[in-house]
Structure 1
């Protein structure tokens, strides 16, 4: 069914009005800032926006204005902006987690090495105590005693 020139002008006016609303961020529930939602908001068949159909130039205009708005830092679709923000946050958290894992591995290795050194030093102390010449002027100290801590008087 063909439409008259007056109907086409009227449709283009509705499409442009819907385009302006979408680009301002007035996204209807369940919609996005896309051609499908534009067609639905204007009450026009979506197929009319493709190929050599009558409103293909309006789809191109809408997509260019949307890209320009995004380049300027404006996100008319809050869901898309939220998705991008969350993706960036996920990437940041993944990087942070990788750095934390690397630090944990390094600290675990350091702990293992420190314990091995302490054990070796303890063994060396025990060996030296056992090898002390009884005729030498060396006095073995008594074992450390546990003292009870008494509070202030």
Structure 2
């Protein structure tokens, strides 16, 4: 069925209005910022946007404007923005997890080395004590006397 020039103009106006709403982020419930939702919002058959159909140029314009917004860092679809934000957050968390794992490995290695050194030092102390017990030329000093300061005789 053919449509008149007036009907085509009205359809294009509805499509452009729907396009502006979607690109501003006014996404209907259950919709996305895509051609399917654009066609639904404009009450136009989706197939009219493809090939040599009458509104293919509007699909191209919509996709170009959407890509321009995305390059500028704006994502009109809140779900797409959330997905993008979550992917970025996920990558940061993975990096933090990797760093934490490396820190744990480093600290575990440090602990192992410290315990080995302490054990070696303990063995050396015990060896030296045993060596001085039998042939002791070491004399023990008497305990220091405690003096009371401030007493007058």
State the TM-score, normalizing by the size of structure 2: 0.87
Structure 1: which 4+ aligned runs deviate by more than 2 Å? none
Deviations 1:77-110 (A, max 9, x none): 1111111011000000100110010000000000
Q: Do residues 65 (structure 1) and 68 (structure 2) align?
A: no
Aligned-residue Cα RMSD (Å) equals 1.4
Q: How does 1:130-141 map to 2 (within 5 A)?
A: 130-132=130-132, 133-139=134-140
Which residue in the other structure is 2:150 paired with? none
CA distance in 2, matches of 1:19, 1:29: 16
Name which of structure 1's ranges 42-51 and 4-13 shifts more when overlaid on structure 2: 4-13
Deviations 1:105-138 (A, max 9, x none): 0000000010011011101111111111434125
Deviations 1:32-84 (A, max 9, x none): 11111000000111111011111000000000111111222222111111110
CA distance in 2, matches of 1:135, 1:18: 100
Which residue in the other structure is 2:30 paired with? 30
Which residue in the other structure is 2:121 paired with? 121
Runs of at least 5 residues in structure 1 that lack an aligned partner in the other structure: 140-153
Structure ID, larger Rg:
2
Q: How does 1:29-48 map to 2 (within 5 A)?
A: 29-48=29-48
- Secondary structure, aligned partner of 1:80: helix
Number of aligned residues = 140
- Secondary structure, aligned partner of 1:65: helix
Runs of at least 5 residues in structure 2 that lack an aligned partner in the other structure: 141-153
CA distance in 2, matches of 1:62, 1:52: 16
State the TM-score, normalizing by the size of structure 1: 0.87
Which residue in the other structure is 1:9 paired with? 9
